[in-house]
Amino acid sequence: MNTPAHLILGAALFARPDKRGTWLGGLLGGLAPDLSRYLLAGVSLMVLQIPPERVFGELYFSDAWQTIFAIDNSVFVWGALLAVAVWRGGSAWIAFTGAALLHIALDFPLHHDDGRAHFWPLTDWVFASPFSYWDMRQGAAIIAPLEALLVAIATVFLAMRYREWWLRAAFIALLLAELWVVYQWFVFVPGG
């Protein structure tokens, strides 16, 4: 799934208006498994000036990067962190770790040839789904609009639960980011 979708869905599922910080925990937990990808690619592209073809064609699939992705996309790592959050009783931390696990669960069936080793450290196995959230050759022409619709519904749900204008604006901005990314997949990905 697209990262904005993960943020909105994490918040929609785990945020509670009566529990302080859960909306932020849900948003940040939705981002957490993708954060290393943005940091690695961002530094490589903008600071080190490595060409995009090398970043996404070589470095992205390197053992070093895939090991980092395996750690921050591990069901076991996030499951252990969720267990600690539940044990300690922190609702914002439960939202954070729960949203990260939701992110992983939603990514698992939607990555065709760019999946993660979700069961690290027990195995480096990567599930190659027959479906993709972005690759039109793997069903994204159907999946991407459904994802956008789900995010739109979740955004309405969040806007109904939270009355603060700035928070509603943030949720709507994430929805717009999701729609923009889905549009980009249709315009720039072969078969779109």
pLDDT recorded at residue 110: 96
Determine the pLDDT at residue 81.
97
pLDDT of residue 159: 96
User: What pLDDT score does 176 carry?
Assistant: 97
Predicted confidence (pLDDT) per residue in 28-76, tens digit: 999 999 999 999 999 999 999 999 999 999 999 999 999 999 999 999 9
Cα 6 to Cα 31, 75, 88, 176: the distances in Å are 7, 16, 25, 14
Q: Which residues contact 39 (CB under 8 A, 6 or more apart)?
A: none
How far is the C-alpha of 176 from the C-alpha of 156, rounded, in Å? 13
Report the chain's terminal Cα–Cα distance, integer Å: 17
**168-174 mean pLDDT:** 97
Residue 186, both tokens: 């249709």
CA atoms of 28 and 167, how far apart (whole Å):
14
**pLDDT band of 186, cuts 50, 70, 90:** confident
Does residue 189 carry a pLDDT above 80? no
Please return the burial class of 191, using the count of CB atoms within 10 Å of its CB with bins 0-12, 13-18 and 19+: exposed
Compute the average pLDDT of residues 113-120. 92
The pLDDT of residue 187: 84
Over range 71-95, report the average pLDDT. 96
- 148/181 Cα distance (integer angstroms): 10
Give the burial class of 159: count Cβ atoms within 10 A of its Cβ; 0-12 exposed, 13-18 middle, 19 or more buried.
middle
Residue 188 is predicted with a pLDDT of: 79
Q: Is the pLDDT of residue 17 over 90?
A: yes
- pLDDT (tens digit per residue) in 1-12: 999 999 999 999
Looking at residues 6-29, what average pLDDT do you find?
A: 96
Task: Evaluate whether 10 touches 151 at the Cβ level (below 8 Å).
Answer: no
**Which are the contacts of 117, defined by CB distance < 8 A and separation ≥ 6?**
66, 69, 70, 73, 74, 123, 124, 125, 126
Tens digits of per-residue pLDDT, 118-165? 999 999 999 999 999 988 899 999 999 999 999 999 999 999 999 999
